[in-house]
Amino acid sequence: MSQDVKEKIIEIIAEQAVLDPADVSLDQSLEDLGIDSLGLVESIFAIEETFDISVPFNANEPEQSDFDISSVAAIVSAVEALIADQKA
């Protein structure tokens, strides 16, 4: 797990959750952090802008998306995979 990607994602999520980045841990889900569907869509937008990638995500079928959002760690790995794919 790249330290840089991890830190930036935690920053984005912490901002949405109105928490200090130190209070966000990798095993937490967005729900644990109190992030609702609008917060999720905003977080994905911030991720796309920060890493200059395109995240495949449809709010109507989040469970069918290739983009795993089940925990902060899952999001970090998914973003790393997208960066590897799209920046290759």
Partner 1 sequence: MKRVVITGAGTVNSLGLDVPSTLKAMAEGKNGISELQFRDVDRLAIRIGGQIHDWDAEGRFNRQQMALYDRFTQFTLVAAQQAIGRSGLEFVGDLALRSGVVLGTSGGGLTTQDDNYRMVYEEGKNRVHPFVVPKLMNNAATSHVSMEYNLKGPCFTVATACASSNHAMGQAFNMVRHGVATAMVTGGSESMLCFGGVKAWEGLRVMSKDACRPFSLTRNGMVQGEGAAVFVFEEYEHAKKRGAEILAEVIGFAMTSDASDIVMPSKQGAARAISGAIQDARINASEIGYINAHGTGTAANDKTECAAVADALGAHADNIMISSTKSMHGHLIGGTGAVELLACIMALRDGIIAPTINYEEPDPECALDVVPNEARDAQVDVVLSNAFAFGGLNAVLALRKAP
Binding residues for partner 1 (CB under 8 A): 37-38, 41, 44-45, 54, 57-61, 64
CB 58 → partner 1: shortest distance, Å? 6
CB 38 → partner 1: shortest distance, Å? 6
Question: Which CB sits closer to partner 1, 59 or 84?
Answer: 59
Helix H, strand E, coil C: the string for the chain is: CCHHHHHHHHHHHHHHHCCCHHHCCCCCCCCCCCCCHHHHHHHHHHHHHHHCCCCCCCCCCHHHCCCCCCCHHHHHHHHHHHHHHHCC
Question: Which CB sits closer to partner 1, 2 or 70?
Answer: 70
CB 87 → partner 1: shortest distance, Å? 19
Question: Which CB sits closer to partner 1, 6 or 12?
Answer: 12
